[in-house]
């Protein structure tokens, strides 16, 4: 397996210490703590875009969306389980 490319990121010592404490508390690495934080920020940004799209729908688009969501909810409750 080829080594992963890496770089150095300069952060204030206090922030580094916070990351190190979190990593120690979780029994993980500082890199994993930073990676998880980035993943969470990306999810938050995605949900913000979803909320914005819903907020900007016309009444007709919102009605269509609601009907489709209800239809899909009904199929999820049909008793079939994946796996």
Our CA angle for 74, 70, 60, nearest 5°, is 155
Residue 4 placed within a domain = no
Residue 55 placed within a domain = yes
pLDDT at 29 over 80: yes
Q: Please tell me the distance from the alpha carbon of residue 34 to that of residue 64, in angstroms, as a whole number.
A: 40
Residue 8 placed within a domain = no
Count structural domains, the chain.
1
pLDDT at 75 over 80: no
Residue 2 placed within a domain = no
Per-residue pLDDT, 78: 60
Residue 57 placed within a domain = yes
Q: Structural domain of residue 28, as residue ranges?
A: 19-75
Residue 13 placed within a domain = no
pLDDT band at 40 (very low <50, low <70, confident <90, very high): very high
pLDDT band at 77 (very low <50, low <70, confident <90, very high): low
């Amino acid at each position: 397996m080829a080594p992963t490319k890496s770089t150095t990121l300069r952060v204030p010592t206090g922030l580094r210490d916070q990351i190190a404490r979190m990593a120690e508390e979780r029994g993980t690495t500082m890199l994993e703590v930073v990676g998880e934080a980035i993943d969470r920020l990306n999810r938050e940004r995605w949900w913000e875009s979803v909320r914005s799209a819903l907020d900007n729908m016309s009444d007709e688009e919102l009605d269509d969306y609601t009907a489709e969501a209800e239809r899909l909810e009904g199929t999820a409750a049909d008793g079939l389980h994946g796996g």
